[in-house]
Structure 1
Amino acid sequence: MISRTIFTDLLIMAFLVALQVFVLNRITLFGKFTPVLYPVFVMFYPFFRNKFQFLALSFLIGLSVDGFLGTWGINALATTVIAYFRTLIFRTSTDTSTDFFSFQSLQWTQFLLFLFSSIFMHQLLVQYIEFFKFSRIFEILLNVLVTSVISFIFIIVYALIFKIKQKV
């Protein structure tokens, strides 16, 4: 188990926000899709830590991204919602009914399903709040799906580089 404190959490958040704002937001794939990586903080936050602190940090990382991008709280809402429902997403995507959660005990397919479910929910919230119009529903859904797949690939690379599945 990796030892984390509030200080290391804030450092990880600063790294992810800087990476998102100064690097990934400058990458545009196929002319309009930008990979999103900062929600990995929410997805990989240790399950045994204080839930209120987790929700506050999740809100803070989303608000930090919003502050740089000028998106008026959309990312803060999306990260807080996936933080709030993370246990439910984990249980439904892994068929786990115990109260102890661990990524080490998951099979890779369950781990990948959890990641994709989380990023898809995040993107669905962000895209619908930002661009919602009834006349653009299919365009928005396509945008959510493509951005989720691209972000999923970036998150898998991040998880493999930092060996997240073995640590958390």
Structure 2
Amino acid sequence: MISRTLFTDILIIVLLVALQIFVLNRITLFGKYTPVMYPVFVMFYPFFRNRFQFLALSFILGLGIDAFLYTWGINAFATTMIAYFRTLIFRTSTDTSTDFFSFQSLQWSQYLFFIFSSIFLHQLLVQYIEFFKFSRFFEIFMNVLATSAISFIFILIYALAFKVKQKI
């Protein structure tokens, strides 16, 4: 396993931004849904690391996406919010109250629920801030569900390929 330092975290952020902007944003499924992969940094960041550094790196990741998409901080906000609430999302999806977190101790259903709830919250924030109109409420919600489902499949493939379900 690679030793996680600030340098490797920044390198991962640069690679995820490049993957999202130059590869995934060019993929459009069913005419309007684009998979989102960059929140994997937030989801699988080690729990024991410095929380303020984690929040700052999450903000920088979202800001990097915003810089290329001209979205004025929407992705930075959404990425920072899921980073801030990640522990709560993890506890909710796993029914645990301990201060020790481990993906290795999770059942697959809990692991999948954690991934889907994280990406759903991210997409909910991004979509509603970007397109919010009361007249389009259900259309936006369906877009959030579809994008979350597509992104969930991509992130699950990533997690299986890199065996992320390990002790962190």
TM-score with structure 2 length normalisation?
0.98
Give unmatched runs, 5+ long, in structure 1: none
Contact 1:60 1:76 (C-alpha < 8 Å) held by counterparts: yes
Amino acid at match of 2:137: I
- Structure 2: how far apart are the matches of 1:86 and 1:127? 19
Contact 2:89 2:118 (C-alpha < 8 Å) held by counterparts: yes
- Structure 2: how far apart are the matches of 1:55 and 1:6? 13
2:87 paired residue number = 87
Contact 1:66 1:72 (C-alpha < 8 Å) held by counterparts: yes
Q: SS in structure 1 opposite 2:166?
A: helix
Q: SS in structure 2 opposite 1:165?
A: coil
Q: Give the 5 Å matches for 1:46-85.
A: 46-85=46-85
The answer to whether structure 1 residue 35 and structure 2 residue 35 are counterparts is yes
Q: SS in structure 2 opposite 1:155?
A: helix
2:101 paired residue number = 101
Report how far residue 166 of structure 1 moved: 2.2
- Structure 2: how far apart are the matches of 1:2 and 1:160? 17
Deviations 1:123-150 (A, max 9, x none): 0000000000000000000000000000
Q: SS in structure 2 opposite 1:37?
A: coil
- Structure 1: how far apart are the matches of 2:99 and 2:139? 39
Contact 1:2 1:167 (C-alpha < 8 Å) held by counterparts: no
Amino acid at match of 1:143: N
The answer to whether structure 1 residue 133 and structure 2 residue 133 are counterparts is yes
Contact 2:102 2:167 (C-alpha < 8 Å) held by counterparts: no
Report how far residue 167 of structure 1 moved: 5.3
Give unmatched runs, 5+ long, in structure 2: none
Aligned residues: 168
- Structure 2: how far apart are the matches of 1:76 and 1:153? 23
Q: Percent identity?
A: 81
Amino acid at match of 1:111: Y
Report how far residue 3 of structure 1 moved: 2.3
- Structure 1: how far apart are the matches of 2:57 and 2:91? 22
Report how far residue 2 of structure 1 moved: 5.1
Q: SS in structure 2 opposite 1:164?
A: coil
